[in-house]
A and B are shown apart, each in its own frame.
Chain A
Amino acid sequence: MDSGDNLDLALAAAQANAEWGWNGLYRNLAPSVTGYLRAQGAAEPEDLTADVFLQAVKAVKRFEGNGAAFRSWIFCIAHNKLVDESRYRRRRPVEPVAEPADDTPVPVAVEDEVLSHLAEDRVRLLLERLTSDQRDVLLLRILGGLTVDEVARTLGKNPPAVKALQRRGLACLKREIAAQTVSV
């Protein structure tokens, strides 16, 4: 049984109010939803993921479609939450609060930590070179595992427009990576 079948079964169970159905849906989809929200720069990706599923729980009875359609629907909710959160943050910027000093020495592999931050910075910088539409499309494809048609439904665009954004986004990445390699 592949993951699509599992998603179909879990969805049917969730719509019948079976707890294992929701467990299955959450286990299957929450990691990629959280990853998508984090890559998009959400302030609290785990909390936002919980909000996404809460909204899905409220509306699942009205949902019509199979597991694959449910995956698109969940990412549609996640994307809308992200847009709402970003608008909210622009209206009410948060002042950073200094954390109290902790004197307890914590054993940390400093080299690993530094390398990990460098890798994350490099990925984030390259993602920032994309337009927001290109980034939405590529992250939904890479992290959400959605097809072009599913991305189109999720973002309210038509498939040719999504393909064009994908082409331009990947071409931009290719160009930026080449430029970085030359400059290093």
Chain B
Amino acid sequence: MEVTELSDGACEKVISGCLSAAESDLLPVRWFLEDVRSLYLEPVTAAAAALHPSATGSRPTAPCLNDDPSRRCKPPRSWWSGETC
């Protein structure tokens, strides 16, 4: 089977995502690589962040179990550390 090779420069552009308009024929390959990243990398990154909320620099919203809006509690300062409403 014939294999048409790309130039090294084109490969680096596909991998870095810096494609120009002239290289639009390589966009589907770039999109595929982005799919690979989102499929295999983002779920584990998100899971790691959920396990270590302090690592992300932003705190997750605390779940509030109180259905009465007038009595709804303020978000605790750090619900993962054991403080409760």
Residue pair A142, B39 in contact (C-beta under 8 Å): no
CA distance A119 to B52 in the complex (A): 28
B residues in contact with A181, CB < 8 Å: 28
Which segment, of A10-18, A83-91, A171-179, faces chain B?
A: A171-179
A36 at the interface (CB under 8 A from B): yes
Residue pair A168, B5 in contact (C-beta under 8 Å): yes
A residues in contact with B15, CB < 8 Å: 141-142, 166
| Chain B contacts with A in 22-59, Cβ cutoff 8 A | 25-26, 28-29, 32-33, 35-37, 39-41, 44-45, 47-48, 52, 55
- Report A63 CB to chain B, min CB distance, Å: 23
- Report A49 CB to chain B, min CB distance, Å: 9
Given the known A-B contacts A166-B11, A171-B5, A172-B3, are A38 and B35 also in contact in the complex, defined by CB atoms under 8 Å? no
Chain B residue nearest in CB terms to A181: B28
Which segment, of A27-35, A67-75, A104-112, faces chain B?
A: A27-35
Contact residues on A (Cβ < 8 Å of other chain), bracket: 20 to 34
B interface: dominant SS: helix
Q: Mark A140-153, 1 if CB is under 8 A from B, else 0.
A: 01110000000000
- Report B38 CB to chain A, min CB distance, Å: 9
Chain A residue nearest in CB terms to B51: A27
Chain B residue nearest in CB terms to A172: B3
Given the known A-B contacts A27-B55, A142-B15, A170-B11, are A126 and B32 also in contact in the complex, defined by CB atoms under 8 Å? yes
28 pairs of residues in contact across A and B, judged by CB atoms under 8 Å: A27-B52, A27-B55, A31-B44, A31-B45, A31-B47, A31-B48, A35-B40, A36-B40, A38-B44, A119-B39, A123-B32, A123-B35, A139-B36, A142-B36, A143-B36, A166-B11, A166-B15, A167-B8, A168-B3, A170-B6, A170-B11, A170-B14, A174-B4, A174-B6, A174-B26, A177-B28, A178-B28, A181-B28
Using CB atoms and an 8 Å cutoff, list the residues of chain B in contact with chain A. Answer: 3-8, 10-11, 14-15, 25-26, 28-29, 32-33, 35-37, 39-41, 44-45, 47-48, 52, 55
